[in-house]
Amino acid sequence: MMYYLHRLSEQVGGFNVFFYVTFRAVAAAITAFVLSLLLGNFVIRVLTALKLGQPVRQASEVHRLADLHGGKQGTPTMGGVLIIGTVFISSFLWARPDNRFVWLALFAMVYLGGLGFADDYLKVTKKKSDGISSRLKFLFQVVLAIVIAAVFLNSPLIEVQARSLWVPFFKAPVVTNMGTWFTVLFFVIVIAGASNAVNLTDGLDGLAAGCTITVAFAYAFLSYAGGNYRVAEYLQVPFYPFTAELTVVCAALIGAGFGFLWFNCHPAKVFMGDTGSLAIGGLIGVVAICCKQELLLVIVGGVFVVEAVSVILQVLSFKLTGKRIFAMSPLHHHFELVGWKENTVIVRFWILSGIFALLGLATLKLR
C-alpha cells in the first residue's frame, strides 16, 4: 500500500524511498513492533476476560512437569492472534500488494493460524492438553500444501521455479524438474514439517518467539538476495524477482516477534499457543519455498529441527525398545528435568538458534 507513494517522487522529493525494499522492510518491522506494544495489553485483557487460559499437563500425564509449570495454569493462550494481526497489517501496509508471493505467505499464516486457534479453543474448553488430533492437523496442512503447489504449478512465470530443487553447497539446482507429484509431496513435507516443528518448540516462555526472530532474520536476507539480480548472481543463489517483497514480510515477522516477546518473556503474561506456532511455521515454510531455500531451513531453523527430531527419536525408541532416550521430549523439557532452569534453557536455545542462522547464511559462500 505505502509502496505506491514512490510515485509522488516526481512532484515531491524524498518519496522515492518507498520504492526500495530495504526501506519498507525496516518500516514493516518497526510497525509490527509498535503495533504489538500498543495492542499487547488489550489482547491479553480480552483473552483473560474470555477465560482462555492455558491448560497445563497434570502430574498423572507427565511426571514433574506439573511441578515445574503449575504456576502457568490459567495464563492466557491464543496470543498468536497478536503476531498474526501485526504481521498481516504491517505486510499489507509496506509490501507491494500486487506480489503473489506476499499473499501466498500471508494466506498460509492466516490459514494455519485458524487451525491453531481451533486447536487451542478445544484445549481450553476441555481443560486438557489435547485438542485437534494430529492426523486432522496434518490433513489440513496437506490441503494447504496442495493449494500452494497448485498456485505455483499453474503459473507459467513460477512453474519452473516450483519444480526445481536447490541443495545447499551447490551452485545450480540438483534437480531441474521434480515432476508434479513429487513437487506436491515436497511442499507437504516443507510446510507440515516447518509448522509442526515450531509448534513443538513452543513449550517455554519466549522460546519459540526468540528462535522465530533469528530464522526470520536469515530468510529476510535470503529473500532479498533471491530477488536482487546482482546479489543473487554474486552469491550464486536462485534469482526470482517476486521473492524480494518477502523481505518485507519476514521483517514484519521480526518486529512482531520482538513485540510479542515483550509480553511472552519469562514469566510470560501470554502464550502464543498453536494459534501462533502453527502460523509462524507455515509462514516460514512458504517463504522458504518461494525463495527456493527449502533445504537450507534444516540448518537455519536448526533448533526447530532438533526439537522435532527429539520427539521422533523418543517415540521410535520407546516403541522399538521400550526405553526413552530423553527424560522427556521435546528436548527443552529434557533439559528442564535434568536440572536446568527455564531461563537457562531458553537463552541457550536462543544462542543456538542464532548460530544456526549464521551457519545457514555462511553456506551461501560455500558453493
Q: 348 lies in a domain?
A: no
Q: 102 lies in a domain?
A: yes
Tell me the three cell numbers of residue 235.
552469491
Q: 353 lies in a domain?
A: no
Q: 354 lies in a domain?
A: no
Q: 26 lies in a domain?
A: yes
Q: Of 277, 269, 284, 279, whose CA–CA distance to 207 is shortest?
A: 277
- Number of domains composing the chain: 1
Cα-based distances in Å from 241 to 48, 153, 230, 264: 44, 17, 11, 36
Cα-based distances in Å from 291 to 100, 125, 239, 296: 13, 40, 8, 11
Contact yes or no for 47/269 (Cβ under 8 A): no
pLDDT reported for residue 124: 87
pLDDT reported for residue 351: 98
Instruction: List, for the chain, all residue ranges whose pLDDT scores fall below the cut of 50.
Output: 59-61
pLDDT reported for residue 69: 66
Tell me the three cell numbers of residue 18.
518507498
pLDDT reported for residue 279: 97
pLDDT reported for residue 61: 45
Q: 360 lies in a domain?
A: no
**Is cis: bond before 267, omega within 30 of 0?**
yes
pLDDT reported for residue 56: 61
Q: 53 lies in a domain?
A: yes
Mutual orientation of helices 273-290 and 100-126 as an angle, nearest 10°? Answer: 160
- Cβ neighbourhood burial of 363 (10 Å; 0-12, 13-18, 19+): middle
pLDDT reported for residue 37: 97
Q: 237 lies in a domain?
A: yes
Range of the domain at 135: 2-165+178-292
Q: Of 223, 362, 218, 361, whose CA–CA distance to 292 is shortest?
A: 223
pTM: 0.94
